[in-house]
């Protein structure tokens, strides 16, 4: 069977790519997608630990993380639409002040 | 063994799609690359004997969330990101040095713990850990409370999304600088007929219009006509 460290290394690489994307991207939707990538990297560690230790708890946690990600997608995209309606732009540098 | 080439294939696919996602400047192309990451992660879950999570990954992530994202991208007609000049040039060598330190640290820790950190798989290949039955049993017995809390969370997200995305209409007369626009039409008794979406600001703008144009007595006249 594949060593556990391979999965963990892959997960850390994906998480790092997500962090880099959040830092260098300027588009709100692109940053949002990078956050989704980070959540998925964490999910991969959960599933691999769960599978290697024979404990189902990790996969239940992945289930709940997916639910939170879906809720986050709904609210986050609502916020993005509201910002776009006010500023006609998705660039986060244009939205650096909290007031409308 | 078949597992190792599969892991390398799907792992490389995931990393390649992730890098493409960050490198793309068109958000639609990044979304499609992200779908590639999700699908290859689902295949990796299959190599970990977690078929339920793999199916949910495809259905929820690639099916629901990414459809929502692509829908918003197309709804807002997002343009490509413009490349902007790099400010703070001195930060680039600093970041390279810090990243090298971090990688060295991680390698040192891996080397330090390589003796004890070797985890052997506990499960037998045919144990039912990742199957739907075991997940359902765990979800509805031990972890029933988190499950219910999650449903409340989804309800809150629903309400929040509707509140955020609802169009709040500002009346024309309430816009600053547009105060002297013609006021709302009067009803048969001279009262102001409120249109849907008008606020108290509209009423104030209407009153200001009447005071400034000497028409403050106008409702009284119409009232007199009504009595006649």
Give me B33's structure tokens.
């690359």
Rounded average pLDDT over A36-49: 94
Q: What is the mean pLDDT of chain A?
A: 89
Q: Does B68 touch chain A (CB under 8 A)?
A: yes
Instruction: Read off the pLDDT band of B1 (50, 70, 90).
Output: confident
Q: Does A47 touch chain B (CB under 8 A)?
A: yes
Q: B161, B163, B169: which to substitute to probe chain A, counting the most A Cβ within 10 Å? A: B161
pLDDT above 80 (res B51): yes
Q: What is the ipTM of this complex?
A: 0.93
In terms of pLDDT, which residue wins out, B178 or B19?
Answer: B19
pLDDT above 60 (res B183): no
**What pLDDT, on the 0 to 100 scale, is given for residue B164?**
83
Report domain extents, chain A: 4-95
Under an 8 A CB cutoff, do B22 and A21 touch? yes
Rounded average pLDDT over B77-100: 80
Which residue is listed with tokens 């031990």?
B142
pLDDT above 60 (res B226): no
- Closest in A2, A21, A51 to B21, CB measured: A21
What is the end-to-end Cα distance of chain A in Å, rounded? Answer: 55
Q: Which fold has domain A4-95?
A: Helix Hairpins (1.10.287)
Under an 8 A CB cutoff, do A48 and B48 touch? yes
**What pLDDT, on the 0 to 100 scale, is given for residue A61?**
93
pLDDT above 90 (res B129): no
Q: B14, B26, B103: which to substitute to probe chain A, counting the most A Cβ within 10 Å? A: B14
Q: What is the mean pLDDT of chain B?
A: 78
In terms of pLDDT, which residue wins out, B149 or B80?
Answer: B149
Q: Which fold has domain B1-80?
A: 1.20.120
Q: Which residues of B52-63 are buried (b: 16+ CB within 10 A; e: fewer)?
A: bbbebbbebbbe
Rounded average pLDDT over B14-34: 93
Rounded average pLDDT over B8-22: 94
**What pLDDT, on the 0 to 100 scale, is given for residue B186?**
61
Q: CA nearest A6: which of A35, A44, A40, A60?
A: A44
pLDDT above 80 (res B83): no
Rounded average pLDDT over A5-20: 91
In terms of pLDDT, which residue wins out, B114 or A13?
Answer: A13
Range list for CATH 1.20.120.1200 in chain B? 1-80
Residues 123-162 of B with CB under 8 A from A: 123, 127, 129-130, 134-135, 138-139, 143, 146-147, 150, 153-154, 156-158, 160-162
pLDDT above 50 (res B221): no
**What pLDDT, on the 0 to 100 scale, is given for residue B228?**
42
- Closest in A56, A63, A78 to B56, CB measured: A63
Give every CB contact of residue A51 below 8 A, 6+ residues apart in sequence: A58, B48, B49, B50, B121, B123, B129, B130
pTM of the model: 0.75
Give me A24's structure tokens.
């260098």
């Amino acid at each position: 069977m594949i060593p556990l460290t391979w999965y963990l290394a892959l997960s850390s690489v994906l998480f790092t790519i997500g962090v880099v994307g959040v830092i260098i991207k300027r588009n709100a939707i692109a940053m949002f997608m990078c956050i989704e990538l980070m959540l998925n990297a964490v999910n991969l560690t959960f599933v691999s630990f769960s599978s290697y230790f024979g404990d189902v708890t990790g996969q239940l946690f992945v289930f709940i993380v997916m639910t939170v990600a879906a809720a986050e997608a709904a609210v986050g995209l609502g916020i993005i639409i509201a910002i776009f309606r006010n500023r006609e732009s998705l660039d986060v540098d244009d939205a650096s002040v909290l007031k409308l | 063994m078949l597992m190792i080439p599969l892991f390398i294939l799907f792992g490389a696919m995931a990393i390649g799609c992730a890098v493409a996602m960050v490198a793309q400047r068109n958000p639609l192309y990044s979304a499609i690359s992200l779908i590639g990451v999700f699908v290859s992660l689902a295949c990796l879950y299959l190599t970990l004997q977690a078929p339920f999570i793999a199916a949910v990954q495809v259905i929820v992530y690639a099916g629901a969330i990414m459809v929502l994202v692509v829908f918003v991208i197309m709804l807002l007609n997002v343009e490509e990101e413009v490349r902007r000049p790099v400010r703070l040039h001195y930060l680039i060598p600093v970041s390279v040095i810090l990243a090298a330190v971090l990688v060295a640290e991680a390698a040192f820790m891996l080397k330090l713990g390589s003796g004890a950190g070797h985890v052997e798989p506990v499960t037998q290949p045919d144990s039912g850990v990742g199957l739907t039955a075991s997940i359902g049993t765990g979800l509805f017995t031990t972890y029933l409370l988190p499950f219910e809390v999650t449903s409340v969370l989804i309800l809150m997200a629903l309400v929040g999304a509707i509140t955020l995305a609802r169009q709040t209409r500002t009346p024309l007369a309430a816009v600053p600088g547009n105060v002297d626009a013609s006021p709302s039409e009067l009803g048969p008794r001279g009262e102001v007929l409120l249109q849907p979406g008008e606020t108290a600001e509209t009423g104030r703008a209407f009153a200001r219009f009447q005071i400034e144009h000497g028409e403050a007595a106008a409702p009284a006249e119409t009232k007199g006509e009504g009595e006649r």
